[in-house]
Amino acid sequence: MKLFQQLLVAPAALGLLAPIAANAAEVNLNGVAGYASYEETFDHEVSAAQFSDVVPGDWAYTALQNLSESYGCVDNGYTQNLQNGQALTRYEAAALINACLDGGIASAEINSDAIRLTNEFGTEMAILKGRVDGLEYKVKELSAGQFSSATKMSGQAHFTTGFVDTGALTTDNKLTQQYGYSLDLNTSFNGTDLLTVGLEAGNATANNSLDSAITSQAANALEVASLYYSFPVGDDFQITAGPLFDTDDVISATTSVYSDAFRLGGMRYSTLSVTGAGGAVSYANDSGFNASFAAVASSGSTATAGILTKEGADIINASIGYDGDNFGGGIIWSDRDSVVGEGSTFGAGLYFTPDGFPTISLQYDTLDPATGTDSSSFMIGLDHPIGPGTASIGYESLDTAGTNTSNYEVYYNYPVTDGISVQGGVFVEENATANVDDTVGYMVETFFSF
């Protein structure tokens, strides 16, 4: 029995006994028996001395001092009382004896004082131990319904409010508010591995969709969005696998440090997220170099399609990169089939973080479909702190199968508190169709992180 557990119980016992007995003549033995939860009746001939305080000059007081000094009992309020010559109640004395005995005294080392004290205060020691054992059982019952201490949960909720003007007067300029909600549960079993579970729900629609958008497959239903396990191999390698895995979950290369939290996103082809059964291996060392390889089958749960088969829908990507003190970059390649359009992609990016200037990110990405014309994207993103928040500007030159357009965005993220931030901005997407207005969106988002 641990000392702090006994010390927790002893004051509780004293509090119960105090109104019952101020001295030997006022003792209510049934009250004490009720506290101890014993069914048997105490001997009514128990001497009054058994419930009196232990005061300086008593043999028990001297024996307690010797026991505390000889066996190096954990320093606490009771040992301090002994050092200061203050009286102890019998339950305080019993708690101190329990602490000394539980502190590691070998049976061969127990002296006559320890034996005599154990005999004298055996009843109180048994009562305290019985009560603490009961508390331990209750704590175990309570802990059984809680998360493991190795499981960490984090989450976010966001509200997206605004309207989008597409030029189609009957279907746009309507003020809307949408939401997204996500929970991440991360559990480690040995301190280096990680089981990741992601839950999410949302009702985002295409026109108002921003980077934070979550669209539930079944009308606002909370669903499992990710489920995978990762563990290290040696000092530099990490293995990741699971039945719900995104292609971009372990891309090691960093091609941009742009906040990418509004409408535009670089590497729209090479990092296009596909979820399914998959696995990956990644490499990183202290020199800054890194690499990764991942394979995901969106049809991996379907017996008639399977994983990495001609009937299935798979995507494979690989990356290599370097991250320095204030610059870095990488390249990403992917090969995919009909799940998102058969073909291959190749992209590269560089970033710079100069002191006192905005961060600069440059990305170029290409799509080579199995049939049809190639597409490409070039994007520049800038972030710079202004006041307590961060201002961001993004520009994308997009060539979609030979049709060229430009996209822009400007937004500002303001942290209200540690867990709440508000982000507002404007995005413009050029429309290549003649006599059709560009798409313009005015959006405000509120994020709640926990």
Tell me, what's the pLDDT at 317?
A: 92
Question: Which segment, 102-106, 205-209, 350-354, is predicted with the most confidence on average?
Answer: 350-354
CATH 2.40.160.10 placement within the chain: 151-449
| Predicted confidence (pLDDT) per residue in 336-369, tens digit | 886 667 899 999 999 999 999 999 999 999 999 9
Instruction: Write out the CATH class of domain 151-449.
Output: mainly beta
| pTM, two decimal places | 0.66
- pLDDT class for 320, splitting at 50, 70, 90? very high
Cβ-count burial 165-179 (b if 16+ within 10 Å, e if not): bbeeeeebeeeeebb
pLDDT greater than 80 at residue 144: no
Q: Which helix (H) or strand (E) holds 31?
A: helix 29-36
pLDDT greater than 60 at residue 179: yes
107 SS3 class: helix
446 Cβ neighbours under 8 A, 6+ residues apart: 158, 159, 161, 420, 421, 422, 423
User: In the structure encoding, which two tokens stand for residue 347, read together?
Assistant: 């992209």
What is the rounded distance in angstroms from the CA atom of residue 6 to the CA atom of residue 103? Answer: 12
Tell me, what's the pLDDT at 297?
A: 87
Tell me, what's the pLDDT at 169?
A: 58
What are the residue ranges of helices labelled H in 145-261?
A: none
434 Cβ neighbours under 8 A, 6+ residues apart: none
pLDDT greater than 90 at residue 32: no
Residue carrying structure tokens 């704590």: 139
Over pLDDT 70: what percentage of the chain?
77
Average pLDDT, the chain: 81
3-state DSSP helix/strand/coil % of the chain, to nearest 5? 20, 40, 40
Calculate mean pLDDT across residues 307-311: 72
Residue carrying structure tokens 């060392």: 285
Tell me, what's the pLDDT at 118?
A: 81
pLDDT greater than 80 at residue 217: no
Q: Which helix (H) or strand (E) holds 352?
A: strand 343-352
- pLDDT class for 31, splitting at 50, 70, 90? very low
pLDDT greater than 90 at residue 149: no
Tell me, what's the pLDDT at 114?
A: 76
pLDDT greater than 80 at residue 400: yes
Tell me, what's the pLDDT at 166?
A: 81
| Predicted confidence (pLDDT) per residue in 218-243, tens digit | 777 889 999 999 999 999 999 999 99
Tell me, what's the pLDDT at 30?
A: 42
Q: Are 209 and 224 in contact (CB under 8 A)?
A: no
pLDDT greater than 50 at residue 204: yes
CA triplet 43, 45, 51: central angle to 5 degrees?
A: 85
| Predicted confidence (pLDDT) per residue in 232-287, tens digit | 999 999 999 999 988 888 899 999 999 999 999 889 999 887 888 989 999 999 99
81 Cβ neighbours under 8 A, 6+ residues apart: 87, 88, 92
Q: If you count them, how many residues does the chain have?
A: 450
Tell me the CA distances in angstroms from 257 to 248, 331, 358, 376, one per residue in order.
15, 14, 11, 20
pLDDT greater than 90 at residue 40: no
pLDDT greater than 50 at residue 5: no
Least confident range from 200-204, 247-251, 302-306: namely 302-306
